[in-house]
Amino acid sequence: MYMKNIREVKKNLRVRCRRFRERIEPEKKARMDEAIQQKLQSLPEYAAADVLLTYVSKPIEVDTSAILREALAGGKRVAVPRCLPETTGLEFYEIASSGDLEPGCYGVLEPVLSRCRPVGASRSAVCIVPGLGFDSQGYRLGYGKGYYDRFLARFRGVTVGLCYSGCTRWDLPHGYFDRPVDILVTERYIRRISEERSAR
């Protein structure tokens, strides 16, 4: 019964977060995306990262197109995920430009395997994590498929969640195996969650 209630709560939260995002006017969303991008790029962890692992955004997500372009222009190695539906896992592949992307699972742009090479989960990498919502402890509200949950369970680099402040909550339901992000970035603030946990 408890798990059933958790699933129902998450389902309702996903609907609310989607509705919030769909109602943001395009000009306002562009401003919010730019503010999030600037805050991300101000992080020393971002500057020091030798590899940037990042999702390729869908229309309702925090836009990562400018992040991708500027990271590549700045000489960073950039890798994006390819979904593995048979295992609900993720594999990241290094790209040289947006020309290395093609439509994949769920209509999301994914790396073209014939042009790209796989990238391991290095400790010196920064992984930008998508989510419909995040809470104050860094736990995310995903899309319900579990792709990132499985990847984050084995990733040991720095994780950064990108989210609109209107989709953050003080507390979200989460399971034992869920992994919170280290840093949460919204258009309004940067929250260093890993430092808060270690200070307790």
Residue range 104-142, pLDDT digits in tens: 887 889 999 999 999 977 788 999 999 999 999 999 998
Residues 89, 112: Cα–Cα separation, whole Å: 17
Cβ contact 32:164 at 8 Å: yes
Lay out the sheet containing 125-129: strands in order across. 117-118, 89-95, 77-84, 51-54, 125-129, 158-162, 183-185, 190-192
Q: What single-letter DSSP state applies at residue 71?
A: H
The domain spans of the chain are 2-199
Cβ contact 140:129 at 8 Å: yes
pLDDT for residue 77 is more than 70: yes
| Choices 3.40.50.300, 3.40.50.2000, 3.40.1400.10, 3.40.50.10420: CATH for 2-199 | 3.40.50.10420
Angle value at C-alpha 81, between 77 and 84, nearest 5 degrees: 150
At 51, the pLDDT band (50, 70, 90 cuts) reads very high
Q: What is the pLDDT of the chain when averaged over all its residues? A: 90
Say which residues have a Cβ less than 8 Å from residue 139's Cβ, sequence separation at least 6. Answer: 172, 174, 178, 180
